[in-house]
Amino acid sequence: MARKDFRSGRKGAPQDRRETGSAIPGGAAGGRRFSRQEPRHRPPADVAQIWGFHPVREALRSSRREILRLWATAEAAERLSAEIAARDVKPTIVSLDEISTRLPPDSVHQGMLLEARPLQSLDIADLPANGLVLVLDQVTDPHNVGAIVRTAAAFAVDAIVTTERHSPHMTGVLAKSASGGLEHVPLCVVVNLARALEKLGDMGYLRVGLDSDGPASLENTTLSRPLALVLGAEGKGLRRLSRENCDVLARLDMPGAIRSLNVSNACAVALAMTHMKLGPAQD
């Protein structure tokens, strides 16, 4: 979409091409403008922003979340009235525009914005002895990771192992894409993924790396719990050390003309296949 130029408001004034945003209601005196490219308010690093109905509702329902602030329109607050009452949160009632000024451009917030503390990371030693976990090897796109988290919640995945670096923040766009899944799938954030995979092996986990060039199809691979499915970034795939620390490399055989899938879609297919092969976990 082509940029629009906005006049300064003075009769006969030239167009100001330096600004790309329109005047924001409630802004500073004198018609100060704020760029559409950046939100007017930036939260501190230790604050997670969560917006949209499902993510906010699930965060309010979660005992794991420390709630700080909730901004909502009157209508949105009414939709969340049961969750707000249960958490004893006092929302700040604002307009849709006021919420938009606090978020990146084009954020679909549905009239609600929650600020909370980030969720605590799970220690890898605390993963269940009979668990099913996902391991993400530098999957950096927040939309993809959010979709993976949502799928993991749907398939009762016990945890997602990811790295401190080369992974997106578990907030904002990712939280919106996860649609509340962050509240249901614990995260295990590690410094070194290769060592984490070694630790999983020591704990008895079968480590299966999804690789388009894998020697066998996932469908024909023998699976057992505890199980770790290892997913690589789009384009690069699994890194060498990640591959070397897998017990099995398996591919997804697709019947159509396009043989590969987006990483979040591949995750969904792999989890569906895994559940058909393993069934539910036994206590």
Q: Is the pTM of this model over 0.95?
A: no
pLDDT reported for residue 198: 98
pLDDT reported for residue 39: 57
Predicted confidence (pLDDT) per residue in 46-79, tens digit: 999 999 999 999 999 999 999 999 999 999 999 9
Termini Cα distance of the chain: 55
What are the angstrom distances between the C-alpha of 6 and each of 22, 23, 26, 102, 103?
7, 9, 18, 22, 22
Distance CA 170, CA 188 (A): 12
pLDDT reported for residue 132: 98
Residues of the chain with CATH 3.40.1280.10: 124-278
pLDDT reported for residue 75: 98
CATH entry 3.40.1280.10 includes domain 124-278: yes
Tell me, which fold does domain 48-116 have in CATH?
60s Ribosomal Protein L30; Chain: A; (3.30.1330)
pLDDT reported for residue 157: 98
Residues of the chain with CATH 3.30.1330: 48-116
pLDDT lower than 50: segments of the chain: 1-37
